[in-house]
């Protein structure tokens, strides 16, 4: 489960093409490009449980076929850290290798720090190329102040976006936040009940509703839905807890309505499966 962590001032960055990692979510990725392999070796494999990296969403131009669908190739060939010397915004871009002006990556201004839950190393045959399978857990949001490179992979100067304990306690006393929390929990519980009836599961999820802080639950629930890249970015950018809860409730409610409509449609198509159907 995601928890509060103290982030360093700089994080190695793994670009995530048209996809977002949210705090509390767990993803499994395969690193094959030289830059991503080097990042894993230096920032995760050697540091073991102390290793942290940043996952930063990118919107890549259509004319960049040489870039991996999930992880883009790094820039630079020297071993020193180089900075782009520019502020990074939602529409800012960074050129790859500085050679082809068409090879442009559009970086998002915010990302999520992640730690490795599992690492496995493989060697492809007959090429002998080293690859890594990495299971990452999202921890907390950050904003990018400056983006550069360290050898063959990216690195960013960052600012954490998590609230302090005192700030969190103050927000939790806000009547609006309390009302939003209750609405989110009610909507989430309704969705869980429907899933429980269909899949005979959901007990563990109900425990989460009672034990995990509500602002973390919002991210965890939304991360499990199939939503657009724009909606994922919107959720990532919801640093304000009330905005985050409102957005999460909207998405959970939409998912709930889809499930309800599907269940109703199935009941009409298969009336004998309808609990309320009575043959008189």
For 234, residues 6+ apart whose C-beta sits below 8 A from its C-beta are: 247
Q: Topology of domain 10-160, per CATH? A: 2.30.130
State what percent of residues in the chain have pLDDT above 70: 71
DSSP state of 80: S
Q: Which position has the token pair 């050129």?
A: 95
Q: pLDDT tens, 66-114?
A: 333 333 333 332 334 444 443 344 333 343 333 344 456 789 999 999 9
Q: What is the pLDDT of residues 142-169, one digit of tens each?
A: 999 999 999 999 999 999 998 888 888 8
Q: pLDDT of 167-200, one tens digit each? A: 888 999 999 999 999 999 999 888 888 777 766 5
> Per residue in 2-19, pLDDT tens?
456 789 999 999 999 889
Provide φ and ψ at 54, rounded to 5°: -110, 135
What is the rounded distance in angstroms from the CA atom of residue 154 to the CA atom of residue 56?
Answer: 10
Distance CA 226, CA 197 (A): 21
pTM to 2 decimal places: 0.76
């Amino acid at each position: 489960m995601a928890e509060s962590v103290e982030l360093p001032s700089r994080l190695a960055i793994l670009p995530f093409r048209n996809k977002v990692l949210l705090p509390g979510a767990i993803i499994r990725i395969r690193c094959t490009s030289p830059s991503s392999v080097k990042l894993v070796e230096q920032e995760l494999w050697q540091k073991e449980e102390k290793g942290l990296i940043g996952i930063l969403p990118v919107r890549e131009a259509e004319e960049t076929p040489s870039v991996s669908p999930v992880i883009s190739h790094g820039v630079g060939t020297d071993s020193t850290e180089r900075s782009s010397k520019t502020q990074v915004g939602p529409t800012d871009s960074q050129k790859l290798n500085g050679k082809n002006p068409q090879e442009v990556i559009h970086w998002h201004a915010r990302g999520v720090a992640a730690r490795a839950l599992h690492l496995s190393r493989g060697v492809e045959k007959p090429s002998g190329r080293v690859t890594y399978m990495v299971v990452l857990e999202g921890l907390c949001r950050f904003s990018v102040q400056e983006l550069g490179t360290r050898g063959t992979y990216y690195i960013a100067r960052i600012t954490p976006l998590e609230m302090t304990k005192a700030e969190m306690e103050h927000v939790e006393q806000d009547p609006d936040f309390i009302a939003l929390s209750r609405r989110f929990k009610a909507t989430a519980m309704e969705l869980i009940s429907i899933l429980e009836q269909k899949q005979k599961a959901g007990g563990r999820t109900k425990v989460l509703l009672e034990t995990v802080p509500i602002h973390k639950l919002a991210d965890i629930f939304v991360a499990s839905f199939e939503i657009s890249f724009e909606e994922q970015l919107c959720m990532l950018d919801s640093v304000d807890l009330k905005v985050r809860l409102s957005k999460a409730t909207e998405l959970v409610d939409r998912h709930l309505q889809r499930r309800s409509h599907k269940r109703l449609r199935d009941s009409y198509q298969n009336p004998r499966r309808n609990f309320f159907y009575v043959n008189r």
